[in-house]
A and B are shown apart, each in its own frame.
Chain A
């Protein structure tokens, strides 16, 4: 901006030339084309897609931010190229440039535009996160979520992270636990995310759901699948040697296919469900009475590969 003022005063740069207008006229079509391409051509392919309402809202957010950012980036590039071309050093021009004392109008414009852009994005982001239809935008809201889906017909799915695999419990189907994650399309899902050991993070990429999995904590996240298909679940928190291999694939299926799968899986896993602890939003194996009974029965006092009692100094 200051260079524009300089340009207006420099004989070598062309006296009387309106560099500001030139730059604006170059920038405007570039910005408009960039925004159209970003929103309408690349936008529908932006991550994480539209498989769920939270994913779709995230894609919309990213499109809006890209549309806001593209003209700014275009202006910086246009200005840089314009300066390199128009104000480049010329043969025989060894004179110093004129001193710069600031330019109140440009500075005020710059500060105003920056403030408006940043504050508008902050307001937009807050509305997208907290607004009623978005239910937390797929992020972990902690054990007492503020933003919930409007529908009461919510499918409960517990996500249990452990080194290095996710397992899933379905409390509305007898509490069976499985390594497969299936969801019905069109029905709100409440993920209750927890961990049995270290910290992990449940990241269902195409669903736009990402929630930390911490031991002893129930981290709730909501989403509503909108399309059938496969999605990827990854751990997004460095959790040990095989963190990179801690992933699996989930499926969104029709409501009838889900009911069939869930009912069949409940029956198939009945024997292992019977030895699982009662469904709870968190688990702490060190205080499960059955473990202590087993240890006592076996004459195990702890350490050397066994569970430590809570008072053991080796515990974190």
Chain B
């Protein structure tokens, strides 16, 4: 092989390695779901109220895993549903959370998490009705939970009143049987990242239902980023 040919080959090989490396860094380390910003324009530690809206669906048809259950976060400016479980909120603020529950029921593995904890007043309003506890073993009552362990927040998500009704089949859901749950809690005064999760083993097709969407950010777990 001539000298120019060897040089060209080396340069091409070098560039190929650089491109592959850059792709890995961007795709696997810098990529991922976006973070929805609820902190913009709100003064931290002022006790200001911030309205956060989520929904949980029986599927995620806008992802590469259409059969995975999933949460979505609503953009506060455009009101578009974003395929993510990352959202940013101001420190020391009152979060007024609304979660639309479109998914059906799955019993909790640990009934203790049927109890509402960490919310203001210790309650969640299920379709406007104050509730402090839901028994997931007495019927088709609980679909998921929204839990932030670090602040002891746990809220069971009630299922649509008619468990035999056809559930919403396209994500993000805009129609179909669902529950509307509202509750409030205070964010910590210190900035930090607080992971949240669902406690219902809803990872269908995975060992004990706790794989797949349960272990993947953008589906049934994510981060609440508290900023100052």
Interface of chain B residues 135 through 190 with chain A (CB within 8 A): 135-141, 149-150, 152, 163-164
The answer to whether B163 touches A299, judged by C-beta atoms less than 8 angstroms apart, is yes
- For residue B127, CB closer than 8 A to chain A, the reply is no
In order of increasing CB-CB distance, the 6 nearest A-B pairs are: A298-B140, A305-B204, A290-B137, A272-B115, A305-B202, A304-B204
Interface of chain A residues 278 through 307 with chain B (CB within 8 A): 285, 288, 290-291, 293-295, 297-300, 303-307
Taking CB atoms, residues of chain B closer than 8 Å to A240 are: 210, 215
Instruction: For the complex, give the distance between the alpha carbons of A277 and B139 in Å.
Output: 15
Q: For chain A, which range describes its interface: under 10, 10 to 19, 20 to 34, or 35 or more residues? A: 35 or more
Contacts beyond the supplied A306-B209, A314-B206: 11 A-B pairs with Cβ under 8 Å: A179-B117, A179-B149, A197-B109, A198-B208, A269-B115, A290-B107, A295-B107, A298-B164, A300-B104, A305-B202, A307-B201
- For residue A165, CB closer than 8 A to chain B, the reply is yes
A2-19: CB near B (< 8 Å → 1, else 0) gives: 000000000000000000
Residues in A lying within 8 Å of B, measured CB to CB: 160, 162-165, 167, 177-179, 196-198, 240-242, 245, 269, 271-272, 275-277, 285, 288, 290-291, 293-295, 297-300, 303-308, 314-316
Q: Name the residue among B58, B112, B136, B207 with the largest chain A CB count within 10 angstroms.
A: B112
Cβ-closest chain A residue relative to B141: A294
Known: A160-B110, A275-B135, A276-B112. A307 touches B209 (CB 8 A): yes
Cβ-closest chain A residue relative to B69: A305
Instruction: For the complex, give the distance between the alpha carbons of A295 and B163 in Å.
Output: 11
The answer to whether A245 touches B163, judged by C-beta atoms less than 8 angstroms apart, is no
The answer to whether B137 touches A275, judged by C-beta atoms less than 8 angstroms apart, is yes
The answer to whether A314 touches B207, judged by C-beta atoms less than 8 angstroms apart, is yes
Instruction: For the complex, give the distance between the alpha carbons of A306 and B214 in Å.
Output: 13
Known: A163-B210, A275-B135, A304-B67. A297 touches B109 (CB 8 A): no
Taking CB atoms, residues of chain A closer than 8 Å to B204 are: 303-306
The answer to whether B215 touches A165, judged by C-beta atoms less than 8 angstroms apart, is no
Known: A242-B197, A314-B205. A167 touches B110 (CB 8 A): yes
- For residue B125, CB closer than 8 A to chain A, the reply is no
- For residue B9, CB closer than 8 A to chain A, the reply is no
The answer to whether B112 touches A305, judged by C-beta atoms less than 8 angstroms apart, is no
Known: A303-B205, A315-B207. A241 touches B109 (CB 8 A): no
Instruction: For the complex, give the distance between the alpha carbons of A314 and B207 in Å.
Output: 6
Taking CB atoms, residues of chain B closer than 8 Å to A297 are: 139-140
Known: A245-B195, A271-B133, A290-B137. A305 touches B107 (CB 8 A): no
The answer to whether A294 touches B110, judged by C-beta atoms less than 8 angstroms apart, is no
Interface of chain B residues 90 through 138 with chain A (CB within 8 A): 103-107, 109-112, 114-115, 117, 132-133, 135-138
The answer to whether B114 touches A272, judged by C-beta atoms less than 8 angstroms apart, is yes
Taking CB atoms, residues of chain B closer than 8 Å to A245 are: 149-150, 195
The answer to whether A291 touches B137, judged by C-beta atoms less than 8 angstroms apart, is yes
Instruction: For the complex, give the distance between the alpha carbons of A314 and B204 in Å.
Output: 10
Instruction: For the complex, give the distance between the alpha carbons of A160 and B199 in Å.
Output: 14
**20 cross-chain CB contacts under 8 A:** A167-B112, A179-B117, A198-B208, A198-B210, A241-B216, A242-B221, A275-B111, A275-B114, A290-B107, A290-B137, A293-B137, A297-B139, A299-B164, A300-B104, A303-B204, A305-B202, A306-B106, A306-B209, A307-B106, A316-B208
Taking CB atoms, residues of chain A closer than 8 Å to B106 are: 305-307
Cβ-closest chain B residue relative to A288: B137
- For residue B44, CB closer than 8 A to chain A, the reply is no
Instruction: For the complex, give the distance between the alpha carbons of A138 and B150 in Å.
Output: 27
Cβ-closest chain A residue relative to B137: A290
The answer to whether A275 touches B133, judged by C-beta atoms less than 8 angstroms apart, is yes
The answer to whether A162 touches B137, judged by C-beta atoms less than 8 angstroms apart, is no
Contact partner, A290, options B115, B117, B138, Cβ 8 Å:
B138
